[in-house]
Amino acid sequence: MSDMERLAFIIASCMHSGQNYGEHDYIYHLLKVNEVLKRFNCEDEELLAAAFLHDSLEDTPLKKKYIEEFVGEGVANLVFAVTDERGDNRKERKLKTMPKTRAAGARATQLKLADIIANVEYGISVRSDMVKMYAKEYL
């Protein structure tokens, strides 16, 4: 793990402290997203660090400016690109966010896909309806 990844991991662990992902501490999900990227031979240090922080702007008080300051502008931009926009419901949030993610380029799309893969794999492992939800959203 690079120094940048390690710092992102530490920040994410602190910011998501007390949050859960199913039966696990939330960091479990962030580790799985990072692992998915590595499974697909990702060696991009910024992308691997962003995997740990990808939910921080929407799920914690962390601000983009602090990600820029501590981990770098590239990581902050990737995290922002996959952060859900505001909306009245999940469908509206996703419809607003997808164009932003696509416009940010291939790396942001890779990060979002790694997040989806990690969520679907988890959903399958615990036999959750999460898989059906993703199937509807991403025909």
Q: How confident is the model over 39-87, as pLDDT tens digits?
A: 999 999 999 999 999 999 999 999 999 999 999 999 999 999 999 999 9
So what's the pLDDT on residue 3?
A: 94
Residue 86: closest CA among 78, 77, 76, 96? 96
So what's the pLDDT on residue 7?
A: 97
The domain covering 3-137 belongs, at the CATH homologous superfamily level, to Hypothetical protein af1432 (1.10.3210.10)
Predicted confidence band of residue 129 (pLDDT cuts 50, 70, 90): confident
- Taken in order 114, 116, 117, 118, is the CA torsion positive or negative? positive
The better pLDDT of the pair 101, 124 is held by: 101
Instruction: Give burial (CB, 10 Å; 0-12/13-18/19+) of 126.
Output: exposed
The domain ranges of the chain are 3-137
